[in-house]
Amino acid sequence: MASSAIPPQDRVKGFLPLALDRRALIALVVGGLIIALPTMIFVARETWDSEEGAHAPIVLATGLWLLVRQWPSALMVAKRPPLLRVVLLLAVLLPLYCLSRITQIVEIEGYLMYAVLIAALYSLVGGRALRRLWFPLLYLAFIFPPPETIVWTITFPLKMALSSVAVKFLALFGYPIGGKGVSIYIGQYELLVAAACSGLNSIISLSALTLFYIYLRHQAEWRYALLLSLLIVPVALLANFVRVLILILLTYHAGEASAQGFLHNFAGLLMFMIALTTMMGIDAVLKPSLQRLKAPL
């Protein structure tokens, strides 16, 4: 079946294509809500009150704002795909999503639900329009937690390295500190590496918010945006290093209870501020420097 472009007269205020049958459009919206709402409630209940998922409401709000902002541009190239292609796509995704609802694995269910919604959007506007919306759609995927196995595999070696560097750094200033395995010893206190370096679990949050900043500031300069994106992980590691130092020093000077209470959460907020401020500072220094290098002598 050949695809057909959506003519301008079939659009309502530049937002929704009317070339679909009105009943089909209503069914599409209602079906999307039936699929999305239970999973979103499940994801919010399971992850949004944790350090790893606290960024999700912000990402959801800003991602939907980006999607609405770029929707008119996407409709300029909207073209309905062949019906058979859509049917085959949904025939694969919907059973997988239903299976994920039964297993109640939050990571799998979230991503499969999102894949079904993107497939529904594809049936409405086609592939070229989705390519116009690539960043909002990619950015919105950050509201779903990545699989814990992947997070642990990536972050555990980083936690061990970060704790080792923190121990050696504080030892230079005469602190009675040492480390063995997954433990950090300072004075009469013992900290677990997993607890002290738990901020590394929020590297996804830092990545999402930093990508949002880069996209808003430099979306037209993809090479420079890519360069800044490559700095996200080093900046996140620097921010987490500062967080670990703060928690170790709080434990030593104010006791273990202080380090695990309100000040523990404050150290997490401070980590976000350090990471975002550092990225903005790098941007403010790096871009003028590159422009001067490109300027003719």
Contact status, residue 219 vs residue 246, Cβ threshold 8 Å: no
Residue 111 · residue 144 · CB < 8 Å:
yes
What CA–CA distances, in Å, run from 86 to 25, 30, 72? 15, 18, 23
Q: Tell me whether residue 197 is one of the annotated catalytic residues.
A: yes
**4: helix, coil or strand?**
strand
Number of C-alpha atoms within 13 angstroms, CB side, residue 242? 16
CA distances (Å), origin 51, targets 122, 189, 237:
33, 24, 16
Report CA 97 to chain centroid distance, whole Å: 21
**Model confidence pLDDT, tens digit, residues 240-272:** 888 888 888 888 887 766 656 655 666 667 777
Spatial distance between the Cα atoms of 182 and 20, rounded to a whole number of angstroms: 59
Give 62-101 as a DSSP string.
HHHHHHHHHHHHHHTT-EEPPHHHHHHHHHHHHHHHHHHH
Reference 81, options 23, 17, 145; nearest CA is 17
pLDDT digits (tens, 9 = 90+) for 14-64: 444 444 456 666 777 788 888 889 999 988 888 887 766 777 888 999 999
pLDDT of res. 238: 84
Answer for the pair 224, 250: CB distance below 8 angstroms, yes or no: no
* Beta strands 16-17; 4-5: pairing state: unpaired
Q: Provide mean pLDDT across the span 139-161.
A: 83
Catalytic residue among 80, 223, 243, 292: 243
- Predicted TM-score (pTM) of the model is 0.77
Helix runs in 176-261, H state only? 193-196, 203-218, 222-230, 232-254, 256-260
Q: Which of 22, 80, 101, 197 is catalytic?
A: 197
- Average pLDDT taken over every residue of the chain: 80
Cα–Cα dist 110/97, whole Å = 9
87-97 burial, b at 16+ Cβ within 10 Å, e below that, comes to eebbeebbeeb
**Residue percentage of the chain with pLDDT more than 90:** 16
Query: With contact defined as beta carbons under 8 Å apart, do 267 and 246 qualify?
Result: yes
Contact 78, 125 (CB under 8 A): yes
| 220-238 mean pLDDT | 83
Active site residue 243: yes
